[in-house]
Structure 1
Amino acid sequence: MIIRAYLRASTADQDANRAREQLKAFVAERQTRITTFYVENASGATVDRPELQRLLSEAGEGDILLVESVDRLSRLPQAAWEALARQISAAGLQVVAVDLPVTHMAMRPASGEGIEAWLHQALAKMFLEFMAAFARKDYELRRQRQAQGIAAAKEAGRFVPRKRNLKLYSAAIKLRETHSIRATAAILKCSKGLVERADAWAKTNAAAEVATDGE
């Protein structure tokens, strides 16, 4: 059995490897081991994740896609999740989420094509759909509350903008001279959004320098 473990954290300052030992313990209890780890810092609200795409491209029929929880795999809107689910199915992968016991049966030895196996597969798929929708809803609620909190802080004069990681910005800007946004994010192990913000920051500074020179 080939087990491909996917580990994700949303931002560069979070530890994407946080759940590694938990996943290793999970498979050890089932007397097997993880074949390959795929680790990245990227938003679960986008499918533009290099390590996830690498996992899908390397997978074969019957392989396991192991995650700590469904929200590590997806916080996507419905249409994007359905597209990703089709990719997963086409790759021959079965998703196992540690926090979703109904998916654990995929880790057991094959039990044939009987009605029991078919029912378990149907239940697993249904619960995966439910948890993917829940993960997206949770993401949207967090964004909404964040926006409300920022608006309230601004109104009260308490809002302090997040400081830019200028060292990371500088590295991203340098890499962007020869690399795409996606490749730059992969090299720096950061989100595509951070690279895009670094690009925008560099362009704003360049425009400001031009304006100053013209005065």
Structure 2
Amino acid sequence: MVERRVYGYLRASTADQDASRAKDMLDKFASENGVSVAAYFIENESGAKLYRPELFRALGIMQKDDVLLIEQVDRLSRLNADDWQKLRVKIQSKGILIVSLDLPFTHSLIVRQEEDKDFQGRVLDAVMGMMLDVLAAVARKDFEDRRRRQMQGIARAKLEGKYGGRKRDSAKREKILALLGRGLTYSEIEGALGVSRRTIARTKAEGV
């Protein structure tokens, strides 16, 4: 049995203790499988961005058959479809293996068997293909869920009159309507309140 070179990838999007907890879990998993983690890469960037400096630094130094060890599959998957495809090509082109603690079928990739390398290669291809398909599905679902929540938020904001630009200045609107009611011209209201003719016209059209 020959040890693969293993690199840990963590995301610390909230507090430092989150990264520490995840690191402890990866260390424990590696130890239980008789390997050690060569280096850790801790990301502070949003998971929804393709450009993650630490992830790409890790991918840059990794060689074929090296292992990227992660706590959860969503550490790599929170991307839109186009960005995920770019990341997938990068991983596949380098022949990097991904082991995720929440996907048990990847756990055997942490070590390399010397026997029957041709058979092992076919198994690795099948496992990594499945892994990347899972990542793609998770990425797509996560992206669609976030988009749906965003649209729901926009719809709710529209119903509450909070969407579509800056909040209307109620006090200023009342002053405009009051001056219009007193018969002042647009030019006089512009001078008195420092507002544009467009604002005056819109306020008049909308009424109270």
Q: 2:129 & 2:28 partners in 1: Cα distance?
A: 26
Aligned to 2:131: 128
Q: 1:114 & 1:23 partners in 2: Cα distance?
A: 27
Residue 83 of structure 1 and its aligned partner are, at CA, apart by 2.6
5 Å-filtered alignment, 1:2-151, equals 2-9=5-12, 11-12=13-14, 15-114=18-117, 116-151=119-154
Residue aligned with 1:35, SS: strand
Residue 65 of structure 1 and its aligned partner are, at CA, apart by 0.7
1:14-67 Cα shifts (integer Å, max 9, x gaps): 834442111111111102221111011223333211101110122123321111
Aligned to 1:168: none
Contact map agreement 1:61 1:93 (CA 8 A) in 2? yes
Residue aligned with 1:134, SS: helix
Residue 132 of structure 1 and its aligned partner are, at CA, apart by 1.4
Residue 12 of structure 1 and its aligned partner are, at CA, apart by 4.8
Q: 1:103 & 1:121 partners in 2: Cα distance?
A: 9
Residue aligned with 1:45, SS: coil
Q: 2:38 & 2:96 partners in 1: Cα distance?
A: 14
Quick one: percent identity of the two aligned structures? 30
Matched residue count: 159
Contact map agreement 2:5 2:66 (CA 8 A) in 1? yes
2:157 aligned to 154, 158, 167, which one? 154
Q: CA RMSD in A?
A: 2.8
Contact map agreement 2:6 2:110 (CA 8 A) in 1? no
Unaligned runs of 5+ in 1: 160-215
Q: 1:13 & 1:154 partners in 2: Cα distance?
A: 30
Q: For the pair shown, which has the larger CA radius of gyration, 1 or 2?
A: 2
Q: 1:77 & 1:147 partners in 2: Cα distance?
A: 14
Q: What TM-score comes out, normalization by structure 1 length? A: 0.62
